[in-house]
Structure 1
Amino acid sequence: MIMRAFQLFALLVLFGVGGAFAQTETATRVDFAAWEKIAARAEASVKSDAVSDAAFETLRQELVVWRGLFGVTKDSNAERIATLKQQISALGPIPEDPASESAEIIARRAELSEQMNEIETPVVRSTEAYSQAGGLINEIDQVLRDRQTNALFERSKLPINPFLWATAIGELGQSIWSIGSDTQQTLTSDTATAKTNQNWPQIAMLLVVFLLLVLGGRNWAIRLADRIYAMTFRGSRTLGFVVSLAQVLLPYLGFLALVKAVDVAGVIGVHGQVLVDVFPTAALCVLVSLWLGKRIFTSSDGHAIFEVSAEQSRKGRIAIAVFGSVFAIRVLIAAIVDADKFSVDIANTLYLPLTLISAFCLWRLSKILRVHVRLNSEEGEQQRPLNRILSVLGRAGGIIALVSPILAVLGYSNAAEAIVYPSLLTLGLLAFISLVQRLVDDIYALITGKSGRAEQGLLPVIIHFVIVIISLPVLALIWGARVDSLTELWTSFQNGFALGDTRISPTIFLTLIVVFLFGYFITRLIQGTLRMSVLPKTKIDSGGQNAIISGLGYLGIFASVIFAVSSAGIDLSSLAIVAGALSVGIGFGLQNIVSNFVSGIILLIERPVAEGDWIEVGQYMGIVRSISVRSSRIETFDKTEVIVPNSDLISGTVVNWTRNSLMGRVTVPVGVAYGTDTRKVEKLLIEIAADHPMVLVDPPIRVFLQNFGADSVNFDLKALIRDVYYVAIVKSDLNHEIIKRFAEEDIAIPFPQRDLWLRNPEDLAAALSNQKTGPKE
């Protein structure tokens, strides 16, 4: 399982490089006779049950190579074929009467048609073979998946049978004794002695490296990482994490040196070489489990992933270390079982104790997960999403830890191992992802200079998401997915999907995004240049400048989209009918948005309203702060913002107080008592207004006697002021001055007065008198 991830990575790299190289090669002639033999053999193998999985894997690899060749060939000469079609089309349609066409045109059409057939024949055959190869690959994958599924439900003899235990231990001991005997025989051979004598300096150096790195390397790395974590300089946590990786790397290099020394000495026989080949993998399992347990449950930087008690942390570290050791033993035993071809019953008997121990480790870790969730969840509050996920994992792990031993004891060893080992490896993968995400946060904080963890930043969140996406293939491999299935999925992803007559692939999509972003960047660059350098030097007002910049932005984005689609080679003509039908439905649903969009364009062109204008629309009055493509933003004098749809500004009634100039009229109503000299009032009001610095004397100030009210004679003082934004202040100043001057001139400003007339006052007086003296007896 561990090596599958490395195989997947290597295959993806080879596919990418091989695909890029193949596309640069000129299409060569394909040996279709050889392909037909391969295809026939593949069809016969799929129908046969005697073909082994290894043979199917080999055959599948051959089919993948052929499919890649056909994929290049079927897309070759596309430009030449298009040119020939245009040439034939230029000759015009074949007339009903061939005699009416000149011999030269007939000959030319025949020549071009012959060239077309010669070029299209291998393309058509390659296209058909490409589909056939893909179908055969899918059939082989289906056969392998069926076999893998059937193997899960295969039942062997009960592994708890004592007779099986005696036989299993005997066969395992015989294999180990055979390895020892083979090694002893190799050691005493003249060839091994001569090889050792010849290479003893290299062997000695490798053994010294092994002793230094294995015996001291991990301890050195632990002490150095702890010292770095204890420091408080910037980036200490990031450096400490990187140094902690040496706890795995240094001992692993030491074990590789040991394996190399054994290989150079030539002291291991054929049987022993099986264990030597898998020994580094087994050692890596143990080293990774020790490192992971320390990083998860005890962290020198004070930020462990699982915040539980010291006792729970100790149990967690032990459980992870025990599972790592068990998995290493499982790798070694599996190598012996495969090499010596043990029976299924014997193999399952040997695997039983390992499965039981692994199930116990899973149960212990699941319990710690639940404890962690309980300690980090406040009572009465809803759990956070991460805690809910951990809670589900803890419960699922506990169930698997109970079910897998039962399946193993009943003989369903494959099913038991298929759930218990992947469950533990999944927990390890999730823990490793958490550590990497924390490292990303630390690096982000180190670069940006922000203290603490940068969990709230957008860039770390995006990187976290990318890390999770990258880990999905590894998770699929852990749960039994085949590398070939993942590479097939990757191939399908590279081929893309069909949209009409156009195929959308990652390359086309990337081209589309890059070209659009380039056009968008150029548009913003031109907008910035106009805004900062060009337009300020013109006589265009600010509203016109904003209209030009906004219009250029919309035009640039539209042109970027068109150019990006053309550059990516996407032909949407086949979708014209569908797009037309959708546009009708979308038009009804989005007619208000479209109306606002068109209104926004009209506002930018005609500019009846510009940014900075004082307008009154409906019940709102304020300053226009921005005009976008859908709506406009108005700031009222109460400092509240109102979003007004652009259609209201076009179709509704809008009062623009500052459209042509800042001048505005102020109207002050004044009432005086009856009997006052009206001409004197008129003259006095004009003098008061003329004395105000904001009031203009041209056009002249006017005073109108409006009407005779119930309590006063009503006048209106009307004057133009320099800045309409000060209308409220000017009106207030004029009112203050009117009160002052009217008082000086002894002019009364009346207020409503009412006279109350009572009917039969004597009856009212008698009633009041009776109320004071009381009722008569």
Structure 2
Amino acid sequence: MSLASPWRTLFLSVVAVVIAAAAALAQQGGGALIEEQRSAIQKYSTRTDDLERQISVNDSNDGKLVEIRLELSEVARQLIASSVAFRPRLAEINARLEQLGPAPPDGQSEPDIVTAERQDMTAAKAEINAVLGLAESLSIRVNGLIEKIGDMRSALFRNVLTKRYSLSEAFAGELLDDVYKEYSNFYRSVSSWLKFVFQYKFESVLAAALFALGAAAVLVVGGRRIFGRIFEPDPAEEAPSYLERFSVAFWSTLLPTMALGVFLLSTLFFLNYFNVLRGDIGVYLSSLFMVVGIVFGVNRLANAALTPRLPNWRLVSIESRTALVLVGVFTAMAVVIGFNYFLAVVTDTMGSPLSLTIARSFAASTVVGALLILIGLLRDGGGAWRAWLRYTAVGLGGFIIAAALFGYIGLATFTSTQVVVTGTILITAYIGFLTSRAIGAEGGFAETSVGRWLARKSGTEATTLDQMGLAVSLAINLMILLIFLPLLLLMWGFQLGDIEAWAYSLSAGFSIGAFRFSPGGILTGVVVFTIGYFVTRWFQGWLDGVVMARGRLDMGVRNSIRTVVGYAGLALATLIAISSAGIDLSSFALVAGGLSLGIGFGLQNVVSNFVSGLILLAERPFKAGDWIVAGNVSGTVKKISVRATEIETFQRQSVILPNSELINSAVGNWTHRNKLGRIEIPVGVAYGSDVKKVHAMLLELARSHPLVLKNPEPFVLFAAFGASSLDFEVRVFLGDVTNSVIVQNDLRFAIIEKFEAEGIEIPFPQSVISVKSDKPLPPWPLDDDAAEAELMERPSAEAKPAGKARRRPRKPAPG
């Protein structure tokens, strides 16, 4: 003991030193993390103070408030990231404190190193909680500022709509002078820029226009080559279907408008890239391009929906004259609204007097109101121009004019703009939804040009076309939401920053209990799974059609490998998709426990079949294409899945057998390793026949058949002395046992023909009937029917097999 004690003391000392060193390192790392996050939170606090001051300065600038809100949202996200950074350290501290246990009660002692470590862990936890408290307080302050900005923007919007101006002051005598002065300033600004461009930047402008035209041409030409006739209606078609009319109206509005938008945006991009634009000209040009896009879109929609020159393609059943007038009126409204918007940008940029703003807004609003009233007063001979549409147009027009006359210029301008722009967006989106619904209906996609082309070129089945129609319908609906919803929000006073903030919030997700759902993450997971699914299908086809086909593998082996690869690929794609969606699988531990309990009871058969399917795919006692016999089922294996196996009988009936039955029961496989097999044909000849001759004839017939193998050679067996015949059995081997029915049929026909030619009889079962009775039989032949009846009523009769039955012929009745 005296020798062991120093070593024990030394060992405990080393362990204590190691534990202390580890604790010191952990404490040092935790301290660095705390200092780092405390410094970051202090920086965020300083940034929040600066943003709060900017809110007070820009309380009347809606665009600037949106920018401040975006920065505050970014600060809030950084605070959340700082809080999350402490989670691993807190989990480590809590786990260590649980290992150390609570402090001993009074009167009990513990090693000093344990006490010191517990104190250090507790102090570190308290310090982390203090930093988390700072982050939480700052987060509450940031969220309050975000709500304050929302309230301020709502108040600004209400002020714009409800503010009343004095028309008498706006239309005073100085108005014309102000108009002339601002026009002169605008003219000088634009003319000086144009002179500069033509002298120094003409090549750059030309290059920018060519690049923009190329980008738009790619979209238009490529779209026309891919989609063909969906851009324009076919004048030769007298009765286009409902789907064709809506599809042409939707795509002939959307795609050309998108092409023009690509051209205009590309032009701005390249002009900026070549340093052609200056500050004010860039603002003017961007607003002008927006006006051109809006007017073009409204005109395209009106022509597509009303088609004045093609009544068969018209979506609304009205007269051609009314349709032509409506197209002109809608286009005129878009021009007025667009021109007013452009002038608003010009006057705001140049700092024009308020009287000009009031005057131009009043003029634009009253013109739009008058055009709406004109729409309501239109009469259609067919009566399809519904009364409620006319009344709504007259009511909106009257409201706009009345608001403008009473001085509510902001309200009148806002309403007239929304009538034109929002109406165009909603009508286009509605047509798109109707188109997607028609495509997604049963048989709808097959009626489209693309569906007919697929059916004609690739022979796609109707079921597959319906599934493709559902996918196309969902894609169109998603595209409509992604395109038109942001446009609507922008038209209703929201800023791009608002949409960006909502997108951030949507991608961050929301929590329900312990689960956190992120729509953006879920969409990412769906996209990843879809990509993984198609990659798996492509890899299956490549592996089967290129690699294994060149290796000349058996079809059953190829099917097994293809099936296993498919399930493995889908499982991998599912796991990657779940990970991409940000779903924590540990949150489903309780669900997994319940599922395990369910498997133990209700799902045990499903699991048994699943495991049996894996065994069948790995062990391969039979494969696709084999001829098997399982119980009362005999047929060809068509498909082996992980739950069941599909067998097609020779009557073309598909039988689905659970895999567990094929594992637990005997299964006969005629084509397990090869298709070599033997068949037997029994045949009997009458007693007294020349058996050697019969044997030779049967052997000759078996050898002469072309499907019978020479090695192993055919064999004829003299099987038995039967009750009515001498029994033989013809045994032959076939290279392909699936031809057994054909060979048996041919040999039986040949045997009958040969036996008939040689006079050999094939007998049938026969019996001799003996009658026993105590009474003497009546004389033969029977004299009358009464005697014959008496004979038939004798009770004792016995039958025994004895060759052919013999009966004395009945004497014919005299005369």
Task: Output the TM-score relative to the length of structure 2.
Answer: 0.59
CA deviation after TM superposition for structure 1 residue 405, in Å: 4.6
CA deviation after TM superposition for structure 1 residue 734, in Å: 1.0
Find the partner of 1:598 among 611, 634, 646.
611
Report the equivalent of 1:470. Answer: 482
Compared CA separation, residues 30 and 306, structure 1 to 2 (3 A): same
Compared CA separation, residues 665 and 759, structure 1 to 2 (3 A): farther
Compared CA separation, residues 397 and 516, structure 1 to 2 (3 A): same
Contact 1:665/1:718 (8 A) holds in 2: yes
Give the fraction of aligned pairs with identical amino acids, expressed as a percent. 26
Report the equivalent of 2:717. Answer: 702
Once residues 581 and 639 of structure 2 are traced to their aligned partners in structure 1, the CA distance between those partners, rounded to angstroms, is 36
Find the partner of 1:357 among 371, 380, 391.
371
Report the equivalent of 1:130. Answer: 139
Once residues 282 and 68 of structure 1 are traced to their aligned partners in structure 2, the CA distance between those partners, rounded to angstroms, is 33
Once residues 121 and 365 of structure 1 are traced to their aligned partners in structure 2, the CA distance between those partners, rounded to angstroms, is 75
Find the partner of 2:104 among 84, 97, 102.
97
CA deviation after TM superposition for structure 1 residue 318, in Å: 1.0
Find the partner of 2:625 among 612, 629, 637.
612
Q: Using CA pairs below 8 Å that are at least 6 residues apart, which structure has the higher relative contact order?
A: 1
Contact 2:418/2:492 (8 A) holds in 1: no
Once residues 31 and 745 of structure 1 are traced to their aligned partners in structure 2, the CA distance between those partners, rounded to angstroms, is 113
Compared CA separation, residues 684 and 90, structure 1 to 2 (3 A): same
After superposition, residues 105-124 of structure 1 pair within 5 angstroms as 105-124=114-133
Once residues 34 and 155 of structure 1 are traced to their aligned partners in structure 2, the CA distance between those partners, rounded to angstroms, is 35
Find the partner of 2:176 among 148, 173, 180.
180
- Confirm whether residue 744 of structure 1 aligns to residue 753 of structure 2: no
Contact 2:678/2:734 (8 A) holds in 1: yes
Contact 1:355/1:416 (8 A) holds in 2: no
Q: Deviations over 1:209-261 (max 9, x none)?
A: 99xx9xxx9xxx9xx99xx99xx9999999996999499969x99xx9xxxx9
CA deviation after TM superposition for structure 1 residue 468, in Å: 1.4
After superposition, residues 401-420 of structure 1 pair within 5 angstroms as 401=393, 403-405=395-397, 420=419
Find the partner of 2:75 among 69, 89, 99.
69
Once residues 611 and 620 of structure 2 are traced to their aligned partners in structure 1, the CA distance between those partners, rounded to angstroms, is 13
Give the alignment's Cα RMSD to 1 decimal: 6.7
Q: Deviations over 1:83-105 (max 9, x none)?
A: 46436635732443287444344
Which SS does the other structure have where 2:82 is aligned?
coil
Contact 1:293/1:320 (8 A) holds in 2: yes
Contact 1:704/1:717 (8 A) holds in 2: no
Contact 1:701/1:720 (8 A) holds in 2: no
Compared CA separation, residues 241 and 307, structure 1 to 2 (3 A): farther
CA deviation after TM superposition for structure 1 residue 675, in Å: 5.7
Compared CA separation, residues 617 and 53, structure 1 to 2 (3 A): farther
Report the equivalent of 1:380. Answer: none
CA deviation after TM superposition for structure 1 residue 323, in Å: 1.8
CA deviation after TM superposition for structure 1 residue 41, in Å: 12
CA deviation after TM superposition for structure 1 residue 119, in Å: 4.5
Once residues 560 and 94 of structure 1 are traced to their aligned partners in structure 2, the CA distance between those partners, rounded to angstroms, is 44
Which runs of 5 or more structure 2 residues have no equivalent in the other structure? 1-36, 232-251, 437-447, 769-780, 787-815
Compared CA separation, residues 247 and 661, structure 1 to 2 (3 A): closer
Once residues 562 and 91 of structure 2 are traced to their aligned partners in structure 1, the CA distance between those partners, rounded to angstroms, is 45
Once residues 603 and 363 of structure 1 are traced to their aligned partners in structure 2, the CA distance between those partners, rounded to angstroms, is 78
After superposition, residues 582-593 of structure 1 pair within 5 angstroms as none
Once residues 505 and 594 of structure 1 are traced to their aligned partners in structure 2, the CA distance between those partners, rounded to angstroms, is 32
Once residues 40 and 185 of structure 1 are traced to their aligned partners in structure 2, the CA distance between those partners, rounded to angstroms, is 38
After superposition, residues 626-641 of structure 1 pair within 5 angstroms as 626-637=639-650
Which SS does the other structure have where 2:623 is aligned?
coil
Report the equivalent of 1:492. Answer: 505
After superposition, residues 548-587 of structure 1 pair within 5 angstroms as 548=561, 550-559=563-572, 561-562=574-575, 565=578, 570-581=583-594
Compared CA separation, residues 726 and 743, structure 1 to 2 (3 A): same
Compared CA separation, residues 462 and 642, structure 1 to 2 (3 A): same
Once residues 494 and 365 of structure 1 are traced to their aligned partners in structure 2, the CA distance between those partners, rounded to angstroms, is 50
Report the equivalent of 2:6. Answer: none
Task: Output the TM-score relative to the length of structure 1.
Answer: 0.61
Contact 1:95/1:101 (8 A) holds in 2: no
Q: Deviations over 1:274-311 (max 9, x none)?
A: 99997776666556545665676669999988698864
Compared CA separation, residues 66 and 288, structure 1 to 2 (3 A): closer
CA deviation after TM superposition for structure 1 residue 613, in Å: 0.7
Report the equivalent of 2:423. Answer: 424
Q: Deviations over 1:728-753 (max 9, x none)?
A: 12112211221122023201345799
After superposition, residues 138-537 of structure 1 pair within 5 angstroms as 141=150, 168=167, 170=168, 173-174=171-172, 177-182=173-178, 202=193, 245=260, 285-286=294-295, 289-290=298-299, 311=321, 314-328=324-338, 331=341, 340=354, 351=365, 354-358=368-372, 360-361=374-375, 400-401=392-393, 403-405=395-397, 420-421=419-420, 424-426=423-425, 429-430=428-429, 464-477=476-489, 480=492, 482-483=494-495, 486-498=499-511, 501=514, 503-505=516-518, 508-509=521-522
Amino acid paired to 1:323: M
Q: Deviations over 1:491-531 (max 9, x none)?
A: 22121233765645467557756876897799789878976
CA deviation after TM superposition for structure 1 residue 604, in Å: 1.0
Which SS does the other structure have where 1:75 is aligned?
helix
Contact 2:684/2:763 (8 A) holds in 1: yes
